[in-house]
Homo-oligomer: A and B are copies of this chain.
Amino acid sequence: MENFSYYVPTEIYFGEGSIQQLSDAVARYGDKVLLVYGGGSIKKIGLYKKVKSLLKDVTIHELSGVEPNPRLESVVNGVNLCKENDIQVVLAVGGGSTIDCAKAICAGMYYDGNPWDFIEDSNLITEALPLISVLTLSATGSEMDATAVITNPELKLKKGFGHRTLFPKVSIMDPTYTYSVSKYQTASGTADIMSHIMETYFNDGEISQVSNQISVSLLKTCLRYGKIAYNEPENYEARANMMWTSSLAINGLTGCGVGKKWSCHAMEHVLSAYYDVTHGAGLAMLTPRWMEYILDGSTVDKFASYGRDVWGLEGTNDMAIAKIAIQKTKEFFESLDLPMTFEAIGIPEDAPVEEMAASATASKGGKIDGYRELSTQDVINIYRMCM
């Protein structure tokens, strides 16, 4: 087992009706609130009205219209609102994009200059406003971690950053808020959650059985309840299991004692930055191709364990089990009607694949330092498997 540190101070209130905790939670931090949200979905489900009624004694400023891949411009607008109005607490109501944008705003309050600076170098962050989140989409896990991903359209870059001051202080998680999430977003969210678990599960470093077995259990929960949530949007058990799994998938728990070499996220972030691809859908498309690409004598053991433990496959031929497991992974995403090719996902035939691959490997000097190291050419090859 590798040495690790683990720190997740977010307070979770989970379950139907947990929004009732909101007033107390906000009151702990102040009475000048910036309410951050995306499109109109929180209005459609009545959540906007509920939040306003619970916070009627509080001064609320609003930043709406946060994009699905949140842009630097929204962060800048939010920071300006905070500085102009002496905001004391930021309240993000929405999915991971909204929470991510809010995290950057929280850090921006105490930074003089362009927020992109600290997105590129989180050492520049010293302090942050307290953040409270009300989650409406099970996917990114941003409600219980200290990281965020922001897109800079000018630079065609989508960058993740993190800082220990950026954990939400409180996250309210009511699975019924995800009942109205579209089938496509539900499926993409499931793929995103599974990818977070798999990025850690498939690792080249030392093994920690306790973490690996937790990953297996979370993946099995996704296979069961991801499917049910897709088919029965108002199934509470399914929505609840997926919501809690989304948090546990990426709050550090599955990575305790194991390596941190992620593979697919870097390849996907480029697709989102260039073509505004839904993150989870991009991951669903890339992951089985990446698995297929790196399957060889040196990785077959791990993929065979994956097949046996997660998919319940039996038999003694490791390579055969590994191949079936990868095929089943692809079929699972297909069964959620996720687009599995560039064309289906909206990336044109003449996409600058070489340029995109170079972008994916740029931050590590021409490679992705994943479970297996991937060169720019490897990334091109994996992109081409999706064409």
Contact = CB atoms under 8 A, between A and B. Distances in A.
Interface of A: 1-18, 175, 208-210, 213-214, 216-218, 220-221, 224-225, 236-237, 240-241, 244-245, 248, 253, 256-257
Contacts of A208: 240-241, 244
Given A1-B240, A16-B3, A221 B210 contact: yes
19 contacts: A1-B241, A3-B15, A3-B16, A4-B12, A5-B11, A6-B11, A6-B12, A6-B14, A7-B11, A8-B8, A9-B9, A14-B257, A208-B240, A208-B241, A209-B224, A210-B218, A210-B221, A214-B214, A214-B218
A210 B244 contact: yes
Contacts of A253: 253
- Copies per complex of this chain: 2
Nearest to A18: B3
A17 B2 CA distance: 12
B209 A213 contact: no
A284 to B, nearest CB: 21
**Which 3 residue pairs are nearest across A and B when measured between Cβ atoms?**
A3-B15, A213-B217, A9-B9
A356 to B, nearest CB: 36
Contacts of A209: 221, 224-225, 237, 241
Given A1-B244, A5-B12, A210-B217, 13 more contacts: A1-B175, A1-B236, A3-B15, A3-B17, A3-B18, A4-B14, A6-B12, A7-B10, A7-B12, A8-B9, A15-B257, A210-B221, A214-B218
Nearest to A4: B14
Contacts of A5: 11-14
Contacts of A245: 210
Contacts of A225: 209
A221 B217 contact: no
